[in-house]
Amino acid sequence: MGSGKIVMSVESSNADVDQENVREKVRKAVFRLMHEDRKIPDPKNLSEKSGVSEDLINQMYPTIEDLAVDITDVLDANLAPQYEAFPEPGDLQDMLAQLVEIRIDLYEETAFVRTYGEVSEHMFPRIREKRAIRDGLFRARIFEMLQPHFGQKTDDMAAQVEALVSWEFWRHMRNIQRLSEEQTRKIIGNLVQQVVRAP
Amino acid sequence: MVAEYSVCLSPVRVIDCKNWLCSADFQGDPMRTNRHKTRLENSVRTNIRDAALCLAASDRVIPTLETLVQETGLSAAEIEAHFPSMDDMAIEIRKVAEDLFGELEDAMPAKGALIPMLEELVVLRARYYEAAADFKHLGDAGGRFLPSVATSQAIRAARYRARLTEMLEPHCLGKTADVVAKVEMMTSWDSWRHLRGVQRLSSDQAVDLLKSVLTAVASQVNHHALAE
């Protein structure tokens, strides 16, 4: 689950290269601390892990929320194509099957970072706001996809489909029920079909 | 999402524990002193635990040694004497959660027809999640870092799965594992968190949505049963 191949860096102008390199070291240290050491990052352990001085870390990231926002921005920029992927218009069942595949591909790829991102979503308003905007855009696209098929029932159907292909549902199947990727794809795909077919 | 229970559980939270520890009340015979001392230590322990709960649930701050020092006015050494690690703190908090929500968590529907049972299950789980939301969020965060939390979550999930299997087996004709996986997912905390926190549905809307999906699942089960 989760390839861990997420690229953490951003394109930088020459003038910003040094600063961006330092930020990159700190961002990587965050994940090493959380994933390998299971520690909550703070300036002291980040300094030890990254080799960047505590003063510089505090200067770059006055609060832990600033650090979380920076990490989120970089990840979102790098993952934009995956987040924006959506089925091509066509037969409803095909589109729904594609949607399940696209979203599960995204979760399989990003599980490593999103699992930790959840903690910051709960703690930091700015991260919650970013997630809400992204989710809102996704919701609008699902609505648009389903409206021609469900008319006045689109609201209900869109909410059900959004839930079934959501990160939270996927995470439950993989992390709590410990199902394989294949089992998860099958169950979620099957549930989406059942919901859409139900009178 | 509003929890029905306050997480600031102990009245001693308002007391300056550091000064209290230094009070001159504890003079006299050794037995009496020991009893007082034990009671006092328990109060301080409760005070620290409640501070951690308030930090996490109300202030949405990760409880660390530093934040607990600020919140309680105790020294780091005093806090560590009661809770040598955050894992020890998590064990204590879990006891509180079990006392408060154990009954709600264990509630299962009365035996009956499949669809009414599933509908009742959704209502019972919703009631539990609404009441315990603050603790569940705290558990989500703790599960990433604290082994005891992850173990406890796995055990509770397995217990719930076993109860679901027992409930659904008579209705599922060899499809039990598949149906249990779906019902477990739909009635999970993760699903509830998505519907309430991400989609921002009201509690009633979330319940209706879950009932609707589970009715679709049950219809499929009934269809298979009729075919058999």
What ipTM was reported for this prediction? Answer: 0.80
In chain B, what residues touch A135 (CB-CB under 8 Å)? Answer: 198-199
**Which residue range is the domain that position A26 belongs to?**
14-62
Domain end call among B19, B54, B84: B84
Residue B38, pLDDT score = 65
> Tokens 């979102």, residue?
A76
Which of A143, A172, A183, A187 has the most B C-beta neighbours within 10 Å, making it the best mutation to test the interface with B? A172
What are the tokens at B45? Answer: 């322990």
Query: Between the CA atoms of B106, A179, A84 and B1, what dihedral angle is there, to the nearest 10 degrees?
Result: 10
The fraction of chain B above a pLDDT of 90, given in percent, is: 49
- Report if residue B6 sits inside a domain: no
**Which residue range is the domain that position B138 belongs to?**
90-227
Considering CB atoms only, which of A139, A163, A187 is closest to B182? A187
Q: Answer whether residue B22 shows pLDDT above 70.
A: no
What are the tokens at A22? Answer: 């330092």
Map residue B64 onto helix, strand or coil: coil
Q: What is the mean pLDDT of residues B111-125?
A: 96
Q: Write the pLDDT tens digit of every residue in B176-210.
A: 999 999 999 999 999 999 999 999 999 999 999 99
Question: How close A192 comes to chain B (CA, Å)?
Answer: 9
Considering CB atoms only, which of B62, B146, B188 is closest to A176? B188
- Report if residue A114 sits inside a domain: yes
For the whole model, what pTM was predicted? 0.79
Query: Does residue B210 share a domain with residue B128?
Result: yes
Residue A53, pLDDT score = 93
State the total domains in chain A.
2
Considering CB atoms only, which of A116, A195, A197 is closest to B213? A195
CB spacing of B212 vs A115 below 8 angstroms: no
Q: Answer whether residue B30 shows pLDDT above 70.
A: no
CB spacing of B217 vs A194 below 8 angstroms: yes
Q: What is the mean pLDDT of residues B167-183?
A: 91
In chain A, what residues touch B220 (CB-CB under 8 Å)? Answer: 194
Query: Does residue A89 share a domain with residue A38?
Result: no
Low-confidence ranges of chain A (pLDDT < 50): 1-5
Query: Does residue A123 share a domain with residue A92?
Result: yes
Query: Does residue A75 share a domain with residue A22?
Result: no
In chain A, what residues touch B64 (CB-CB under 8 Å)? Answer: 40, 42
What are the tokens at A133? Answer: 């905007």
Question: How close A13 comes to chain B (CA, Å)?
Answer: 35
Domain end call among B84, B114, B141: B84
Nearest partner of A177 among B168, B182, B214, B144, judged by Cα:
B182
Residue B219, pLDDT score = 87
Q: Answer whether residue B33 shows pLDDT above 80.
A: no
Query: Does residue A121 share a domain with residue A35?
Result: no
End-to-end CA distance of chain A: 35
Query: Does residue B64 share a domain with residue B97?
Result: no
Query: Does residue A148 share a domain with residue A58?
Result: no
Top pLDDT among A120 and B151 is at: B151
Q: What is the mean pLDDT of residues B64-71?
A: 88
State the total domains in chain B.
2
pLDDT range class, residue B13, cuts 50, 70, 90: very low
In chain A, what residues touch B213 (CB-CB under 8 Å)? Answer: 160, 163-164, 191, 194-195
Query: Does residue B100 share a domain with residue B76?
Result: no
- Report if residue A145 sits inside a domain: yes
Question: How close A22 comes to chain B (CA, Å)?
Answer: 25
CA distance B182 to B168: 11
Query: Does residue A71 share a domain with residue A58?
Result: no
CB spacing of A171 vs B144 below 8 angstroms: no
CB spacing of B178 vs A187 below 8 angstroms: yes
In chain B, what residues touch A173 (CB-CB under 8 Å)? Answer: 181, 185
- Report if residue B1 sits inside a domain: no
Q: Write the pLDDT tens digit of every residue in B74-83.
A: 999 999 999 9
Residue B21, pLDDT score = 25
- Report if residue A4 sits inside a domain: no
Query: Does residue B31 share a domain with residue B64?
Result: yes
Give the lowest-confidence range in A30-34, B33-37, B52-56, B108-112: B33-37
Instruction: Name the helix (H) or strand (E) containing B113.
Output: none
